[in-house]
Structure 1
Amino acid sequence: MTQPSILLEIDQGVALLTLNRPDNLNSFNVEMHERMRDAISTVRKDESVRVLVITGSGRGFCAGQDLSDRSVSPDQEMPDLGASLENYYNPLMRSLRDLPMPVLCAVNGVAAGAGANIALACDITLAARSANFVQAFCKLGLVPDSGGTWILPRVAGMARAKGMALLGEKISAEQAENWGMIWRCVDNEQLMEETMKLARHFATQPTKGLALIKRALHASASNTFEEQINLERDLQRTAGQTEDYREGVAAFMEKRTPNFKGK
């Protein structure tokens, strides 16, 4: 019996989403995109979920697009790759970016093409020491997609972004950490333990406030300073009306651990 290409487990506020096409290095086809979309929709609608963790099954995280799912035979019409982005990858990247909770990524092996950019787009990314990141698009005559041309200059700087995009060389997990592309590189056997430790932490934190932090940081990429401090004012006004703010202040005054509800 064929295993589903996306696995979703929800437990005590933590949603664990596993890319599950290990024989294809968890590369995306249309069916996997549709299951991923449904899983993220489930996470968004489930009020018990306060953090999402994404990882891959088998020896790789995600090799990007499954090229066998696209026709490039000489006797057939060339595929519209722009339509593929518009219909699948772009909505996926928007949905991950806009989730009102922390999104963690555990990169357990190679993250190539769109797989690399999905990993780098998550809020906090940890990678196994044996993992690597590859902007493989140039080897096919393509442009980095799934937000790659936006993400890379911001996480690594323009010089390194151009080197990765134009050369398509592997960047090790240790190098990615040193360059500030990911949060942490950990030993292989500790990857999920460290990731789930972080996830359990976030499942006890003021989720709505964390979502507002994400919103502010994302907006800073295009805002002027004046626009940004005005946004901070507006978001702080919203944060100050939450139950978690009230609880945080009470816990501080009473010298106890806060009991955040994520509201």
Structure 2
Amino acid sequence: MIKTSTHDGITTIAFDRPETLNALTRELGEQALCALRDAAASGAKAVVLTGTGRAFSAGADLVGFSAVGAQGGEALAQSVGRDMREAMNPLSEAIADSPIPVISAVNGPCVGGGVGIALAADVAIAARSAYFLLPQVTQLGIVPDLGATWALPRKLGRARALGASLLGERIDAERAEAWGLIWKCVDDAALMDEAMAIARQLARSPSAAVRATRALIDAAPSATLHTQLEQERLCQVEFVGSAFFREAVARFVTVSSNLGR
């Protein structure tokens, strides 16, 4: 269901159901969640999340839904609700709350619940051939999920979030970058190299500062300016006393002194 590898402190977690375009199942969600937790526990400095084959994820495994649905609509509803509560929602939350940075490398179609998972990462990049698609409303009569309705308005604003959700149009990688849905669109062949470069850069930053910045950005839409300023102040009080900051200042002073000679 997933493949993992670790190199130079960077763990790569890849959805590995290429025959289904990495359609999401409870088992895949559970395995990815365990891999994410194991990466942090083992001392990895960052995680790259991607898919094998042609897709990041085609969204929910509708073939599996069909099998359960044969038992009746109520059985299917209970199964989906349980899998979301116990496996898939915890995966999105674990990505968003990870103690180490997570980079999603969207290598191909990113559909349905895959969108929520990809956007839960700290930084999302996409191959030029990739696209994002939310077919839940138009094609299935359900709602976007796995955190998509939380991430989309924060990244796109209400108008584009609703348009993407209600109209079910493909958003190609270049448009996703232009809209601010993702950080960067890159050539297909460069995707993993770029993802690893970002992961290494984030891995060099103090994890506490990364987590605090994530928390500040996430809190900002509902915070007052006064509250946000105070939270920033508290973070600075904590981090300015760190060895990392003192060493950075010392390097800056040395470089500045040399430039002045």
TM-score by length of 1: 0.89
Q: Aligned to 2:117, what secondary structure does the other structure show?
A: helix
Q: Distance in 2 between matches of 1:16 and 1:237?
A: 34
* Contact map agreement 2:88 2:146 (CA 8 A) in 1: yes
Letter of the 2:70 counterpart: S
Letter of the 2:104 counterpart: C
Within 5 Å, give how 1:113-152 maps onto structure 2: 113-138=112-137, 139-152=139-152
Q: Distance in 2 between matches of 1:245 and 1:101?
A: 19
Q: Distance in 2 between matches of 1:10 and 1:242?
A: 28
Within 5 Å, give how 1:1-263 maps onto structure 2: 5-47=1-43, 49-70=44-65, 71-73=68-70, 75=72, 77-80=75-78, 81-138=80-137, 139-255=139-255
Letter of the 1:67 counterpart: L
Change (3 A) 1:169 1:252: same
1:168-196 Cα distance to aligned partner (Å, 9 max, x none): 11111111111111111111111112111
* Contact map agreement 1:53 1:199 (CA 8 A) in 2: yes
Change (3 A) 1:196 1:165: same
Q: Distance in 2 between matches of 1:176 and 1:124?
A: 13
Letter of the 2:42 counterpart: D
Higher share in helix: 2
Q: Distance in 2 between matches of 1:11 and 1:251?
A: 29
1:69-109 Cα distance to aligned partner (Å, 9 max, x none): 33222656333233222112221111111112321111100
Range that drifts further, 77-86 or 151-160: 77-86
1:117-172 Cα distance to aligned partner (Å, 9 max, x none): 21122111111111000012111111111111111111112111111111111111
Q: Distance in 1 between matches of 2:6 and 2:251?
A: 28
Shift of 1:113: 0.5
Range that drifts further, 196-205 or 182-191: 196-205
Q: Distance in 1 between matches of 2:15 and 2:176?
A: 22
Q: Aligned to 1:232, what secondary structure does the other structure show?
A: helix
Shift of 1:239: 1.6
Q: Distance in 2 between matches of 1:180 and 1:75?
A: 41
Range that drifts further, 11-20 or 234-243: 234-243
* Contact map agreement 1:212 1:239 (CA 8 A) in 2: no
Q: Distance in 1 between matches of 2:98 and 2:243?
A: 20
Q: Aligned to 1:217, what secondary structure does the other structure show?
A: helix
Q: Distance in 2 between matches of 1:73 and 1:147?
A: 28
Q: Distance in 2 between matches of 1:25 and 1:242?
A: 45
Q: Distance in 2 between matches of 1:177 and 1:8?
A: 27
* Contact map agreement 2:57 2:109 (CA 8 A) in 1: yes
Q: Distance in 2 between matches of 1:28 and 1:122?
A: 17
Letter of the 2:14 counterpart: T
Unaligned runs of at least 5 residues, structure 1: 257-263
Range that drifts further, 200-209 or 153-162: 200-209
* Contact map agreement 1:131 1:172 (CA 8 A) in 2: yes
Letter of the 2:9 counterpart: G
Unaligned runs of at least 5 residues, structure 2: 257-261
